[in-house]
Copies of this chain bind each other. A is one copy, B any other.
Amino acid sequence: MTTNRQWLLDNRPQGQPSPANFRLVEAPIPEIGPGEVLVRNHYLSLDPYMRGRMDDSKSYSAPQPLGQVMLGGTAGEVLESRDPAFQPGDQVVGSLGWQQYGKCKGAALRKVDTSRVPLSVYLGAAGMPGVTAWVGLNTIIAPKAGETVVVSAASGAVGAVVGQLAKLKGCRVVGVAGGPQKCRAVVEEFGFDACVDYKAGRLRADLKAAAPDGIDGNFENVGGVVLDTILTQMNAFGRIAVCGLISGYSGEPMPVDNFRAILISRLKVQGFIVSEHMEHWPAALGELTGLIASGRLKYRETIAEGIESAPEAFIGLLQGRNFGKQLVRLA
Contact = CB atoms under 8 A, between A and B. Distances in A.
B269 A269 contact: yes
Given A60-B236, A255-B256, A269-B268, A263 B244 contact: yes
A267 B269 CA distance: 8
A31 interface: no
A315 interface: no
B254 A255 contact: no
A266 B260 CA distance: 20
A273 interface: yes
A88 interface: no
Interface in A262-316: 262-273, 276
Given A60-B236, A236-B60, A223 B260 contact: yes
Interface residues of A, number: 32
A233 to B, nearest CB: 11
A270 B253 CA distance: 23
Number of copies: 2
Interface in A223-265: 223, 227, 236, 242-245, 248, 253-257, 259-260, 262-265
Nearest to A260: B245
Contacts of A227: 259
A187 to B, nearest CB: 28
Contacts of A52: 264
Contacts of A2: none
B259 A259 contact: yes
Interface of A: 52, 58-60, 223, 227, 236, 242-245, 248, 253-257, 259-260, 262-273, 276
19 contacts: A60-B236, A223-B259, A242-B263, A244-B263, A245-B259, A254-B257, A254-B260, A255-B255, A255-B256, A255-B259, A256-B259, A259-B259, A262-B270, A263-B271, A264-B271, A266-B270, A266-B273, A268-B271, A269-B269
